Structure 1
Amino acid sequence: MRKLENSELERKSVSDFKLATKTPISIILDDIRSLHNIGSVFRTSDAFLIEKIYLCGITAVPPNKEIHKTALGATDTVAWEYNKNVLDVIENLKSNKTKVYAIEQVENATFLDNFQPTKDAKYALVFGNEVYGVSQEAIKICDGCIEIPQLGTKHSLNISVSAGIVVWDLFQKLDPKK
């Protein structure tokens, strides 16, 4: 085995990225405190051609040098918008036939490994505050909740880790080649 050089990775240019067919997933970040989490979600979103990121509440927006540290330019490729009220974003997406799921531990949540997305649907995933999670108000208007099964003592993952796990799982399940 030989480690690939950067020139061998077939990276898209910014303009190619913007023109590429996107994975039918958007991400909603609500009240995220950590600028590193925000940047990391941008970077994951770039990697999997996510349609859009919605930044809500206290979530910081680009340009921001702390977001940039982990995003590494993904704020220039991934479409994003800011809206103070997460409930407005959820309602708007649902009215445009997007299925909205909170990533949260709730009664009757669907475990991620059991969640089967429909290949012709669009999805939005809500990730909440690092301490308080997704608000109960947002959970009430979502189409459902997805929980990442956890077996340890913490039952808590960093937002950027959760986003990476869920996006990768849905990306694979939505792969049109399967």
Structure 2
Amino acid sequence: MGQQLSHNQTPFSKHTFPITLVCDGITYQPNIGSLFRICDAFGIQKIIFIGKDLALTPRKINRTSRSTHLHIPHTVVQTTDEAVAYLQENHYECIGLEITNNSKPLHQVTVNPKKPIALIAGSEVNGISNTILQTVQQTVHITMYGENSSMNVVNAVALALYEITRKMQQ
């Protein structure tokens, strides 16, 4: 039998991975807060939000972020074109988290630990925009076994970050 450990007793060491989460049109504030928390848990460098008039109201996202929005660098860009230009100028390996006609299962994702990665997650309703899908080097999906073909964006990002950070440590 084990005993639950407090935050100060965990064996985890702080580590930052060269990963940027790109949120393409994610607007639901509880999801935004949870994405900050997931990014903190996986040692992600930063978050880029794409969209106009995004309400990153600390009071509304703090409940799910548990104050991690105070530590994770983030920025908002207005347009997908602006985001694509930034990703290309900074030589990111762009990985789209989306079910497409040529996506591969998440466990088959390939990573180069020496190259910065942009994990791109799409909006809660429409997924990743076609403009961004055309620029990614890889598209991965989470294999589903139930009736539904999608899951909450936060859960999907958590699974993807787990797999990508695991592979970056190999």
- TM-score by structure 2 length? 0.91
1:47 partnered with 2:41: yes
Partner of 2:10: 9
Q: % of aligned pairs identical?
A: 22
Change in 2 beyond 3 A, CA 1:130/1:58:
farther
Aligned residues: 169
Amino acid corresponding to residue 42 of structure 1 in structure 2 = F
SS of aligned partner of 1:60: coil
Amino acid corresponding to residue 54 of structure 2 in structure 1 = A
The answer to which of 119-128 and 83-92 deviates more is 83-92
What RMSD, in angstroms, separates the aligned Cα atoms of the two structures?
1.9
Give, in angstroms, the shift of residue 120 of structure 1.
1.2
1:130 partnered with 2:124: yes
- TM-score by structure 1 length? 0.87
Change in 2 beyond 3 A, CA 1:59/1:127:
farther
CA distance in 1, matches of 2:53, 2:43: 21
Aligned 8 A contact 2:32 2:61 in 1:
yes
Amino acid corresponding to residue 93 of structure 2 in structure 1 = K
CA distance in 2, matches of 1:157, 1:101: 18
Task: Name stretches of at least 5 consecutive residues in structure 1 with no aligned partner.
Answer: 13-19
Aligned 8 A contact 2:22 2:47 in 1:
yes
1:103 partnered with 2:104: no
CA distance in 2, matches of 1:169, 1:140: 23
Aligned 8 A contact 1:55 1:61 in 2:
no
The partner residue of 2:72 within 56, 72, 78 is 78
Q: What is the 5 A alignment of 1:137-152?
A: 137-152=131-146
Kindly provide the CA deviation profile for residues 86-125 of structure 1, in whole angstroms up to 9, marking residues without a partner as x.
2321221222111112111111112111112112111101
SS of aligned partner of 2:120: strand
Task: Name stretches of at least 5 consecutive residues in structure 2 with no aligned partner.
Answer: none
Partner of 2:24: 30
